[in-house]
Structure 1
Amino acid sequence: MSLLSVRNLSVTFDVMPRNAWPWTKPGKLHAVNDISFDLAPGETLGVVGESGSGKSTLARAVIGTVKAASGAVMWEGQDLMKMSPRDRRAHRRETQMVFQDPLAALNPRMTVGEIVAEPLMTHHPETSRKEAREKVGEMMERVGLLPTLLNRYPHEFSGGQCQRIGIARALILSPRLIVCDEPVSALDVSVQAQVVNLLKKIQRDMGLSMIFIAHDLSVVKHISDRTMVMYLGQQMERAGARDIVKTPQHPYTRALIASAPIPDPVLERARVRPVLEGELPSPLAPPSGCVFRTRCSIAQTSCAETRPALLEVGKDHVVACPYHEAAFDGSSALNGTQTPRMT
């Protein structure tokens, strides 16, 4: 049985045009459009895509901080969207979030000990100060920080240390699901590896499930079991983390993979990269049919007429492109092979 099942989840926002009259009808911004996936206990789902693709909105809708327009978020068979506020508050102990900006996510007026202990004291007010301090100290050691640092303030730590504090705060309630919203994008490359390895170790030790959001497919491949690619609020492809890199089926997935540099300078200079021309369309006025067709090299006339359904092309591998075989030659852009140009 899946721990988390998301079915046909959509999130829209009302947006008023600039300089609009008071009686003007607001436009609909489709941030997330008909997303479905399952997450098993102990599994990590990576979510990748450009800025504006709806990754963070999807995460917040799953957590419950953003209201979904339609669909269902099922937790062990129970629909979270139909829970009463009291029941949903109790469920928040099971799901926690790690944010993108480590310093902005921490209250500068609170000590590190107070920051990490705050969720514990909120959800378990019967916890004594001594017991809370002991648990905070244990969690600080688990994320690689000394318990003697509890009385310091966030500005006294580096970005990587602040992210470790944020992870400790998310784990203090022993949740079963952690949603990581681009937790390493603001960190140096060397620190990114440390934080990713820390998350993998903690997940293994605590048996956590995880949704890991990032722009970099190489990072997602390292930490995830499965990967979902999003574009303009819709799901383009979903497969095993290694399968999606070795045999990417959707043109957008191949473009994302090709954007990652190869450490070998000879291969890097020799390969031909697919280039994504143009800007991401506005979610206020998305293209008809396939939302990626305006930047796709293999787009057909029919792509503008109907939205492509998710096709199963392998074991647990689905792609939203009926013409995916037209441009896929069985080789990966990460290997330096030639791929079709995106126009």
Structure 2
Amino acid sequence: MSRRRYDESDVRIRPGKGTRPRTKTRPEHLSAEESMVVSVDRGRWGCALGGDPDHVVVSMRARELGRTPIVVGDQVSIVGDLSGKPDTLARIVRVAERKTVLRRTADDTDPYERIVVANAAQLLIVVALADPPPRTGFVERALVAAYVGGLKPILCLTKSDLATPDEFAATFAGLDIPVVVAGRDDPLDELTAILNGQVTALIGHSGVGKSTLVNRLVPDADRATGVVSGVGKGRHTSTQSVALPLPGGGWVVDTPGIRSFGLAHISPENVVGAFTDLAAAAEDCPRGCTHLGPPADPECALDKLTSKSADRVAAVRLLLEALSTNESWN
């Protein structure tokens, strides 16, 4: 019996899944629409199409973006179903360069930065004058984060019926920070004039009256929160930021999950560099100067400044002291 001989024609090659050549060419998405991210919930982003708070589109992150972080306030380009109807889903295909960022770390030893809000023009720091007593440590760290991130800080004092604001506000007088008193019975005309037309991040400790303030600024805040944050399986929680539209235009970004600011990513040079006059003077400081002044830095060039700049040096050194210690910061 002869043995059969085989050749290549007898061999069948089953095509594999990866036989089609892959390309790195990505679609340009020229028809993508610009939007603002107003909420984040477990892999889903609520995007206000064209910045319109009444047209929020639920979106996912396109595969080509990989693990690119997307946070509330980001300006993004989206494609797909842009109707905003229930059970529809668009895709985020581009994230624009951020103009400002509010960053923090979990604590002062954590090297991982977390971007809390993007593209906010202002940071409204809400502090109660009593019950609970005001905490300068938290305010100082929030100010550092604002200056370094490019946001304009505003100090908002609540519960003015329990204490006067003058003494606490004087602590930060050298920084020329706008101070607004917004107790429960105080008119909000001054505050709304500052907020209208701007994107403002809002932070504060639990119990300082922040929720009451938000409800006064955005009368239908509860309804708006449900609309913009119900993008995934859950609703807005205390760990998620959400942007709420102001009746007079602009947005307030409520960040109820922030209880403290770790500043591991910030150096003294970052803080001093946020002030033009101080940054110019600091160029004459010796190497390794912490800008804290005597006795730590007997040759610090900031000591030569006079007038309003000298007042600013004293205020900034309070911020630098808050940066150098992790005590009384939460």
TM-score for both structures, normalised by structure 2: 0.25
Comparing both structures, which one devotes a greater share of its residues to helix?
1
Larger radius of gyration: 2
Higher RCO, Cα 8 Å, sep 6+ = 1
